[in-house]
Amino acid sequence: MDKIQHNTNTLGVKNALVDLTPIVTLFNPVEEPSLNISSMLEEKPTQKGHAECDMFNGRWVYKAEDKPSYNAVTCPFLEIGVTCQKNGRPDFDYAKWRWEATDCDIPLFNGRDMLERLRNKRMVVVGDSLNRNMWESLACLLYSSIPSSTVEVVNLPASKSLKAKDYNFTVEFYMAPFLVDLDKKHVSGRRVLNLDRISPYSKQWEGADFMVFNSAHWWTHGKAIRSWDLFRYKGKLVEDMAKEVAYKRGMRTWASWIKKNVDPRKTIVYFRSVSPTHYHPHFCFNATQPLIDAYDVKGFPKSLMDVIENLTKKMTKLRVNYLNITKLSAYRMDAHPSIYDMDMNNSPNKVEDNLKRPIDCSHWCLPGLPDTWNRLLYASILLDI
């Protein structure tokens, strides 16, 4: 079987940068026949007669019969900000769209199969709050697959973990938005982003069998909300530096750490691409269907996306794969928390109040879109092990 691509130049990020038109075209939710789920379980993704297949290129298909993969109320890993149904969101169609690749048959997520394949293994998910969104989804998908009595849960401010005791499998999350070191107590009294020093939390990443990284939006923050005052590179403090230059230097530091500390005979690494936002020109509030042909990766320049895509291409011998979810996620303006990012107690007045504050068109409702990211991660793992 020809191996499905993890990384592609011709699809995904480049197409995701087409400017939005003033009119947003939406999908019509047309139901299609159910896939034969039982025939797909525990099978690797297969191609449909083409020389190569990119499972990140395809379309969203409405599946009215699909049920949530887990219960947002009973899963202990979800933060209140992403439990949209619990927070009063009245519709649930955003969880009924299934990703279908153009040339690939992708297996549905099978938690027990994943746990069995990863028995006695350890996975770490590292990055910003969007990777935490992904980890929460994965933890809930696995948690719902096995008896809760066989699960250990650790929930700390900067790290979280699930351990499936019967499988001796652990999946952990570590908050490290830049992957490199942010020194908030520098002797200068300023917050310093050290571009050539890996995050001090990296000691906790070492030894994992699977690693899932991201680093994106925090690099683009303006002065009003950014987390640093100065850059430090090769011993020198710099106040201003082009974002592309800073990001490239930081990601090279990450790549150097991978080369020095990760054994490709033991460990497979995934870098998740940029998770798009939908703030401008079309807010995500009241969106109930995916976009059909409009993509917006606002807030993260294409030049920065090219940095990490080109860097990971050079790391294939280190078993570093690019999990390119940008394009497929860019369709999903309907899947953000919007105003439903906190408990509104089903009060209409609270809805009106929430419209007066910032709307979350960045993170994703759970259950929801990150479940598809994890389905594609699962399919990627099937190819790699």
pLDDT value of residue 14 = 28
Q: What is the mean pLDDT of residues 222-235?
A: 92
Amino acid at 8: T
Q: Say which of 338, 363, 371, 380 is annotated catalytic.
A: 363
Q: Which residue do the tokens 């899963």 mark?
A: 75
Does the active-site annotation cover 329?
no
Q: Peptide bond before 264: cis, by omega within 30 degrees of 0?
A: no
User: How many CB atoms lie under 10 A from the CB of residue 100?
Assistant: 16
pLDDT at 47 over 80: no
Q: Annotate 169-214 with DSSP letters as a single string.
A: EEEEEEE-TTSEEEETT-TTSS-EEEEEEE-TTHHHHTT-SEEEE-
Q: Say which of 105, 128, 296, 360 is annotated catalytic.
A: 360
pLDDT at 34 over 50: no
Q: Say which of 6, 105, 128, 129 is annotated catalytic.
A: 129
| Of residues 116 and 6, more confidently modeled | 116
Burial of 61 per CB tally in 10 Å (0-12, 13-18, 19+):
middle
Lowest mean pLDDT among 5-14, 67-76, 165-174, 268-277: 5-14
Does the active-site annotation cover 209?
no
pLDDT value of residue 257 = 98
Give which of 149, 130, 148 is closest to 140, Cα–Cα. 148
Q: What are the pLDDT digits (tens) for 58-96?
A: 999 999 999 888 999 899 999 999 999 998 899 999 999
- Structural domains of the chain sorted by starting position, each given as residue range(s) with its CATH number in brackets: 15-384 (3.40.50.1110)
Does the active-site annotation cover 129?
yes
Q: What is the mean pLDDT of residues 169-194?
A: 95
Mean pLDDT of all residues belonging to the chain:
84
Q: What is the mean pLDDT of residues 183-212?
A: 95
Give which of 288, 368, 377, 323 is closest to 82, Cα–Cα. 368
Q: What is the mean pLDDT of residues 225-235?
A: 94
Q: Which residue do the tokens 């917006």 mark?
A: 296
Secondary element (H or E) of residue 248: helix 243-261
Q: Report, in angstroms and rounded to the nearest whole number, the Rg of the chain calculated over CA atoms.
A: 20
CA atoms within 13 A on the CB side of 93: 17
